[in-house]
Amino acid sequence: MRTWFLETRPQFLIISLILILLGTSIAWYQGYFNPLHAGLALIGMLLVHISANTLNDYFDFQSGIDLEVKRTPFSGGSGILAAGLLAPASVRRFGLICFLLAVPIAVFFVVVRGLLLLPIFVGGALCLALYTTHLTRWGLGELGAGLGLGALPVLGAYFVQSGAYTWEAVVAVIPSGILLHNGLLLFEFPDVEADQKGGKRTFPVVMGKNRAAVLYSVLTIAMYAWIAAWSIAGLMPIWTLLALLTIPLAWRAMAGALNHEEESKFLPGLKANLAVLLGVQTLLAAGFIVAATL
């Protein structure tokens, strides 16, 4: 059971909790909250996330990438299949079962909230199903992660509460898309050689690490500018400026990216990268909750 638990990569599953929390908080700020819908959305998101993690492990093992990567606490997969601790067919079956268990939840929400949810569910499902086998080989893996494991889940969590899309919600989910895109981008740095051998076209492979580090930094700065601009403009509550408290962590993450050849700076940068991903979204959610309360 411990091995199966580690195969799900539990250290990253908190991302699902924060995505649902943020989408629900945006809806709460606008006067909508259904605890049953929030709970079901979280269960569905966790199932989809576990499915994505385990299927990614399976396909990376099958392609040989998992045997070549330089594993860190933040990258390189779980290492479970490479160590021979589980059968690849069992991991694939587990990933597919988790995905299928999420389908009834999606159907429930479409029935009670309407067909306008379908684009989110279909888009998210495609990002999951095609991520390792196609998107990473087309140079779209990071964009797929930003959309399918960032913006769409937050927007979906908002919709299952409110039953509608609003410009305020769309503006509020953009940082999540950037954060998940960037989070994956930096975690790919240690895997460049293995990914290249396995046929993956990640941004660090296609652009080279130096240019990918610049892209990471530019998008990070743009994300903070987006939050500040829309908070001041009033489309997001002023309390969402709390997210700017993570700027020192972002600085460390950017320093790690730009100095990726220096392990003493790069590994702390990877840790800061995850902290920024989690911290910004948590503080955004806190900002919406405080604004709703006050």
Q: Residue 248 maps to which CATH number?
A: 1.10.600
State the Cα–Cα distance between residues 228 and 90, nearest whole angstrom.
Answer: 46
Q: What is the pLDDT of residue 133?
A: 84
Res. 66: pLDDT tops 90:
no
Residue 76 binned pLDDT confidence (cut-offs 50, 70, 90): low
Most confident of 10-19, 78-87, 192-201: 10-19
DSSP H helices, the chain, are: 2-7, 10-29, 35-63, 88-113, 118-130, 141-146, 152-162, 167-187, 192-198, 203-207, 209-233, 247-258, 263-293
Q: Residue 78, Cα to own-chain centre: how many angstroms?
A: 17
Rg (CA), the chain: 19
State the Cα–Cα distance between residues 247 and 74, nearest whole angstrom.
Answer: 20
pLDDT digits (tens, 9 = 90+) for 258-267: 999 998 889 9
pTM score over 0.85: yes
Res. 10: pLDDT tops 90:
no
Structural domain for 34, as ranges: 2-293
Res. 276: pLDDT tops 90:
yes
The structural domain count of the chain equals: 1
Q: Exposed, middle or buried by CB within 10 Å (0-12, 13-18, 19+), for 27?
A: buried
pLDDT digits (tens, 9 = 90+) for 175-230: 999 999 999 999 999 888 888 888 889 999 999 999 999 999 999 999 999 999 99
Residue 117 DSSP code: G
Place of tokens 């989690």: 278
Residue range 270-280: mean pLDDT, rounded: 96
CB 282 within 8 A of CB 176: no
